[in-house]
Amino acid sequence: MRLFTYERAKTPAEAARAVAGQPGAKFLAGGTNLIDLMKLEIETPTHLVDVQDLKLDRIEQTGEGGLKIGALVSNTALASDARVRRDYGVLARAIVAGASGQLRNKATTAGNLLQRTRCPYFYDTNMPCNKRKPGSGCAAIAGYSRQLAVIGASDQCIATHPGDMAVALRVLDATVETVNAAGEPRAIPIADFHRLPGATPHIDTNLAPGELITAVTLPRPLGGRHVYEKVRDRASYAFALVSVAAVIQWDGTGRVAFGGVAHKPWRIEAAEAAMPQGAAAVTTSLFADAKPTHDNAFKVPLATRTLAAVIAEGNAA
């Protein structure tokens, strides 16, 4: 790990100014992803701004009937909150499906959204990776790609977003609230928060330099049956080959988002009109532009089968 300087911010705007004003600076909260990447010298911040004193650790009711989740609310606290379990069950289920209990105790809401890919070539500093070192190439494209993206990728990167929570937030149409160095707030729809790789795979989100996440807001509850299904190589502490977050209504309509298949949670609202017709109708539309590799072509039919199981579970309620 390389040398760096450190400070603890007292307000969100102060934290944003500190990071925006110093090249190479990073925010530090739970550190469950950043510290690991620093040890491997994949991330080499010159300055860390600790945001743990900002009192962004509350879950509060909004005037519109939703919930405002502070950026520093731990994954454990969020998944166990009675309101989340009752009204946003897909979110609670997605969080519990990720990582381990120890990590969920420390990981934060904002940090979960900002975690970086688990592509093995990103973690191997002996291999070229455009996400780790722009312009160096992508070893994954010609390498072993079983875990990687089947849609939304580019000729620069085929990595996937590793999270579970973000997939559920996408189905719920959450909003990410931020503040910049001038203290100005911004609200970013979760659909616009994460980026596809394109020609700049090293840029994971649409946050501006120094912009700090302060909260995630959920709209009014959707009702219906909430289901999160994660298919992986082992029963726990494994990233998704395919995951499905769904909210299914009594008449067979609903919403669905997929994880493990793209650089961001994958949802196409127009495809959801086919929900009453069954899983194959939805995924035929949703994965129409898929470009799987030889190693991960199984993900497309797996997505259909997983969604079929989710729909059957939702209809059985």
Tokens of 247: 């909210």
> Which pair of tokens denotes residue 191?
């659909």
Tell me the two tokens of residue 307. 């969604």
Percent of the chain scored above 70 by pLDDT? 100
pLDDT tens-digit map of 2-27: 899 999 999 999 999 999 999 999 99
pLDDT at 235: 86
* Whole-angstrom distance, CA of residue 106 vs CA of residue 101: 9
Burial class of residue 288 (count of CB atoms within 10 Å of its CB; 0-12, 13-18, 19+): exposed
Q: In sequence order, what are the beta bridge partners of 218?
A: 67
Would you place residue 261 in the very low, low, confident or very high pLDDT band (cuts 50, 70, 90)?
A: very high
Nearest to 217 by CA among 132, 91, 115: 91
Q: Give per-residue pLDDT as tens, 112-157.
A: 999 999 999 999 999 999 999 999 999 999 999 999 999 999 999 9
Structure confidence at residue 236 (pLDDT): 83
Within 13 Å and on the Cβ side, how many CA atoms surround 135? 0
CA distance 219 to 62: 9
Helices (H) and strands (E) in the chain, counts: 13, 11
CA 88 – CA 223 distance, rounded (Å) = 8
Rounded to whole angstroms, the Cα distance separating 51 from 11 reads 8
**Contacting residues for 50 by C-beta, under 8 A, at least 6 apart:** 6, 7, 8, 9, 28, 29
User: How is residue 313 written in tokens?
Assistant: 């579970």
| pLDDT digit string, tens, across residues 284-297 | 999 999 999 999 99
Looking at residue 317, its pLDDT comes to 60
**Is the confidence at residue 162, as pLDDT, over 70?**
yes
Is the CB of residue 164 less than 8 Å from the CB of residue 95? yes
Strand ranges in 80-184 using DSSP code E only, listed in sequence order: 175-179
Picking from 118, 146, 145, 151, the residue whose alpha carbon sits closest to that of residue 132 is: 118
Going by C-alpha positions, the residue among 165, 190, 189 that lies closest to residue 240 is 165
Q: Residue 231: enclosing H or E segment and its boundaries?
A: strand 225-231
Kindly state the tokens that stand for 170: 């996408």
- Whether 11 contacts 94, CB under 8 Å: no
- Average pLDDT rounded to a whole number, residues 302-315: 95
> Which CA distances in Å does 47 have to 1, 22, 44, 194, 293?
13, 8, 9, 24, 39
H-only helix segments in 6-70: 12-20, 34-39
pLDDT of residue 316: 78
User: In whole angstroms, what is the distance from residue 55 CA to residue 67 CA?
Assistant: 17
Question: What sign results for the dihedral spanned by CA atoms 74, 235, 292, 272?
Answer: negative
Tell me the residue type at 186. Answer: R
